[in-house]
Structure 1
Amino acid sequence: MRNKIDHFAVGADTLAQGVSAMKDALGVDIPQGSKHDAMSTHNCVMQAGNESFFELIAIDPDAPEPARARWFSLDDNTTQARLKERPRALCWVVNTDDLDAVIASSPIDLGEVVNFQRGDRTWRLTVPKDGHLPENGLLPAFIEWSPGPHPSTGQQNLGVTLSKVQIQTPDPAHLKEIFETLQISHLAEIAEGPTALSFVLDSPKGSVTIE
């Protein structure tokens, strides 16, 4: 399997809150992205190096209630309370060329595979039905795109690149075993500590950690 970081999501209470906070932290204005009709969310996006992208995501206040739980735990009361305080590192997504093999090999339930389409581009993504994040967001979602250029190639390059994904967990041996099975050990640093996910970014303001 070819597994690499596809994108990473920073959640916000509102996109306006997130854009303002990222302007202060990174020194850039993240451009408006698109709406996710099935999830009633919307985003702002920019390139993050190595055919990956930074996604700032929030519940779309103008969208109707979705028919299912929103992804990335955005319906969770605890998540919503934390995002009201400030934007947070929410989830990371791994691009794979064999999603079915990833699911078959996974020692834990990654959720159902949901099909999405925008224009002539389609993608398949693992999304738990109840919207929770496997391993509290420490484990990534997995995505498989239809053939074609990676979406990041059409996004703006504002000089922000992902340096590393950092993970803390009270049981690093357990998580490392899962990562090895899923062939993603090379994509994140795992250390012992309270459960936490963070993204280290190189930006116009230097090295910035979003957690």
Structure 2
Amino acid sequence: MTPQLDHIVLGCARLDRGADALRDRLGVTLPDGGQHPAMSTHNRLTRLGEAAYFELIAVDPEAPDPGRPRWFSLDDPGTQARLAARPRALCWVVAVDDLEAVVARSPVDLGEVLSLSRGDLTWRLTVPRDGHLPEGGLLPAFIEWPGGRSPASRLPDQGLNLTAIHLRHPAPEGFGQTLEALGLLPLVQLHSGPRALSFEIESPTGPVTLD
């Protein structure tokens, strides 16, 4: 299976306020998703084009301590400071059919492979043990859906389409080799500059950049 974009991840300090801020920018209200008991987070989800989706995620204030660092760097003080201002792009997630093979050939440590579930959905995801984002989110997390059962097709189509993923890296040639080794170059636009991740989205309000 050629790596395919599965979803993009934006984080926020509080899920309800983050959804309100994105509604003002995108012109849509993100539907409720659910809770992640293993990580003590919760989210909202909507479709992003034909086969991908958009995830807004936050620490669940009503959940107990997960007993481990949360994913997507949500426990990191730097991430928390960024999210205090507004929803921010955290990461992108790529679907593959053999996570172990991807982890084995990656020139960068992608973390452990966790088996997770919610309701009737099950998935496997690369998550660093300390919760950090490889390359600050410029490298994706990798996901495997047993039986190919991604939730994208069951999510509402609210007119959001991803038009580009922009990665900025201070050493784009070397980083580009990492992306190439993982089969990711066709999915992104790579630029030179301080590390930064942004998503270009066509929405009912027009083109929007989320960073």
TM-score by length of 1: 0.98
The 5 Å alignment of 1:158-177 reads: 158-177=158-177
Aligned equivalents of 2:46, 2:122: Cα separation in 1: 20
Q: Deviations over 1:114-134 (max 9, x none)?
A: 111223432110000000000
Match of 1:14 in 2: 14
Unpaired runs of 5+ in structure 1? none
Aligned equivalents of 1:53, 1:42: Cα separation in 2: 16
Aligned equivalents of 2:26, 2:131: Cα separation in 1: 29
Match of 1:32 in 2: 32
Please provide the CA RMSD for this pair.
Answer: 0.9
Match of 2:191 in 1: 191
Q: Deviations over 1:34-74 (max 9, x none)?
A: 10000000000000013110000000000001021100000
Aligned equivalents of 1:104, 1:111: Cα separation in 2: 11
SS in structure 2 of the partner of residue 72 of structure 1: helix
Query: Structure 1 residue 110 and structure 2 residue 115: aligned?
Result: no
4+ runs deviating over 4 angstroms: none
Instruction: Give the share of equivalent positions with the same residue, in percent.
Output: 53
Aligned equivalents of 2:25, 2:120: Cα separation in 1: 35
Instruction: Determine if contact 1:121/1:146 at 8 Å carries over to the other structure.
Output: no
Match of 1:79 in 2: 79
The 5 Å alignment of 1:86-125 reads: 86-125=86-125
What letter corresponds to residue 33 of structure 2 in structure 1? G
Aligned equivalents of 1:26, 1:6: Cα separation in 2: 20
SS in structure 1 of the partner of residue 100 of structure 2: helix
Structure 1, 116-125 or 42-51: larger mean CA deviation: 116-125
Structure 1 residue 99: deviation in Å?
1.1
TM-score by length of 2: 0.98
Q: Deviations over 1:152-194 (max 9, x none)?
A: 1111111011111101111101110001000111011100011
